[in-house]
Amino acid sequence: MGNPRSQKGSSRERELVDMFWGAGFGVVRAPASGSATDRALPDLVAGNDERYVAVEAKASASDTVYVDGDEVSQLIEFADRFGARARIGVRFDREDWRFFHPGDLHVTDGGNYRVKKETALRDGEDFEEVVGGTKQVRLDGVGDDA
């Protein structure tokens, strides 16, 4: 509240940059999409000499996040070229960041990607998994048992 949506998104993105930095990674936040380039770009790229991660980051005050299909295509193309893991990071209010490989997300009829809060909290990777630390204990495969 009080912050326009874009400012909030931007401040959440900085939070994620700080987390990667705190975990010992080098991090670059890419210029805002659409800024004088048609080259594929994620929101940020982080690396620690062992693991490289490209992230498209979305924060939401509601219970569902939609990610534009074109942004996801750009993320995948960039990650493929660069040599990085492609991750969509979602951050719901009062929750921790959760991460998904784009291929694990629901695609709407319109070609966009949808993440529900409940799915994110149940199936998403947490930050420690993304940076290569401890893994969550997970039921294998399906993930619909919970």
State in angstroms the smallest separation of the CB of 2 from its own copies: 19
Query: Is 95 annotated as contributing to ligand binding?
Result: no
Residue 121: what are its φ and ψ, rounded to 5°?
-70, -30
Query: Is 125 annotated as contributing to ligand binding?
Result: no
Number of residues that bind its own copies (CB under 8 A): 32
- Three-class SS of residue 116? strand
Instruction: Give the number of other Cβ atoms within 10 Å of residue 54's Cβ.
Output: 27
Span from 32-40, 55-63, 112-120, 123-131 in contact with its own copies (CB under 8 A): 32-40
82 or 127, CB closer to its own copies?
82
Sign for the CA dihedral angle at 87, 92, 98, 100 comes to negative
Q: What does each C-alpha distance from 33 to 24, 102, 111 come to in angstroms?
A: 26, 18, 19
How many residues belong to the chain?
146
53 or 59, CB closer to its own copies?
53
16 contacts its own copies (rule: CB under 8 A): no
Query: Is 56 annotated as contributing to ligand binding?
Result: yes
Catalytic (active site) residue 62: no
30 contacts its own copies (rule: CB under 8 A): yes
Residues labelled catalytic: 33
